[in-house]
Amino acid sequence: TVDRGAKVVAGIQAAGGEAEFFPLDITDESSVHAVMDGVAERFGKLDVLINNAAPTDAVSTQVKPLIDYTTEEWDRIITGTLTGNVFWACKYGIPHLIAAGGGSVVNISSAQSVVGMSGFAAYGAAKGAINAITRSLAVENAEHNIRVNTIVVGRVISHKADTGVGVGPGHLTRLGSPADIA
């Protein structure tokens, strides 16, 4: 949300860092385009593009077998996780990286892209496609001095209230943290 983004910026600034918040609707192509242009304009260039969006409310509320998805539910997860998050972000962000003389694209994927998990067909499909797109983008953009990588993450505790309940024994040596990914 906009309030959450403003709080993150305030925390970074309070710690002596520099930050700015750009509201973005990842399901709206013109919004993604405007943010890529806006960031490059505000800071003079774009060096790094990290694609880490997914409609988490849709993913968490639509855990069910593939045959029970509506087309609208499927499309919402694919659009937020794959189309807006990677396709549009790269389509409008990579030209700014090229103009800057190079940079890095980091796509965040999920263990569900390589391991089947009941009820997550759309999310797993989107994350699997991110892995494939990353390989193509890496080859396409190497000549522009742009690195393109994917970080495939497992279970990450993202806030203090998250206890990790539901993670079965033998699946992970420990739960991840946002610092691990960074």
Note whether 91 and 82 are within 8 A (CB): no
Structure tokens at 58: 């849709």
Q: How far apart are CA 24 and CA 121, in angstroms?
A: 26
* Active-site residue (options: 89, 123, 126, 134): 123
Residue type at position 63: V
* 123: annotated active-site residue: yes
Put residue 84 in one of left, alpha, beta given phi > 0 → left and psi -120 to 50 → alpha.
Answer: alpha
Q: How far apart are CA 117 and CA 121, in angstroms?
A: 8
Query: What residues are annotated to the active site?
Result: 123
